[in-house]
Amino acid sequence: MKKLFPYLITLLLITACSENSKTVSDTTASSTDGGVLSENAASQSLRDEFPKEISHATRNEKKRGSETPDESHGGSGNTDEKVEQADSSGYVASGIEAELMENFKPRNKIERARNSTLFIDSGFGTGSGFFFDENCTIVTNKHVVQLDYPDIKNMKLEKQYVDMQLKRGVVNREEREKLHENQANLEKALKAFKPNGIANRIVITLVNGRELMAKL
């Protein structure tokens, strides 16, 4: 991966795709400080909880333990909301995959691939990505979620230059407005990453328009 795709980075989405993937993500995330980033690859964990997205494995375990509806999450006691979808071959999807199949049921392999695509916004970069396994591991371009030191340095220098220009005063109104806009964008971008260049916040938008928030 490192030799063939030096500019790709992986994200690990923790939702209903796999209950066991939470353990995997914790292990992977803890290893990023140990040199994974130096190899141009990293794993980030999205740890938000989505009540409607209960994994297939978790539901089966609940059913084995008790047939009584769990009332601990609200007053209705109705936790058996259907989140599974079966395709023409009989394959049963769950979690996010089931949600997307319900809203955008694929009629062919191309449309199935479409459901795996997503939009990513890190605050300083935007781009596309896609799920490539059942654990909802996401592949995207590295620059979308991580900045290299030269990029950070150049951004800071550009911000200093814009600040200096505005401090000196710009007579032309249109040019002044552009500088103010550039200044605001640079300030937003500089606040969007940690000192090591990794994004503070990653927003992933599925093809159905729903956003998932990342926690680094």
In a domain, 88, yes or no: no
CB 62 within 8 A of CB 70: yes
Question: What is the domain count for the chain?
Answer: 2
pLDDT tens-digit readout, 21-47: 333 333 333 333 332 222 333 333 333
User: What pLDDT sits at residue 163?
Assistant: 96
Strand residue runs (E) in the chain: 8-13, 45-46, 85-86, 92-93, 117-121, 126-131, 137-141, 203-205, 211-213
Please give the residue that has the higher pLDDT: either 13 or 201.
Answer: 201
Q: Same domain, yes or no, for 134 and 166?
A: no
Q: Same domain, yes or no, for 176 and 115?
A: no
CB 153 within 8 A of CB 163: no
Q: Kindly list the distances between the CA atom of residue 36 and the CA atoms of 31, 39, 201, in Å, as whole numbers in the listed order.
A: 7, 5, 19
In a domain, 70, yes or no: no
Q: What is the largest CA-CA distance in the chain?
A: 74
For the domain that residue 31 is a member of, what is the CATH number? 2.40.10.10
User: What pLDDT sits at residue 12?
Assistant: 53
Q: Same domain, yes or no, for 125 and 185?
A: no
| Residue closest to 124 by CA, chosen among 141, 106, 107 | 141
Q: Same domain, yes or no, for 25 and 50?
A: yes
Q: Same domain, yes or no, for 12 and 1?
A: yes
In a domain, 126, yes or no: yes
What is the residue type of 92?
V
In a domain, 29, yes or no: yes
pLDDT > 50? residue 2: no
| Residue closest to 162 by CA, chosen among 172, 170, 174, 150 | 170
Containing structural domain, residue 155: 148-192
pLDDT tens-digit readout, 41-79: 333 333 333 333 333 333 433 443 444 333 333 333 333
Distance CA 73, CA 171 (A): 61
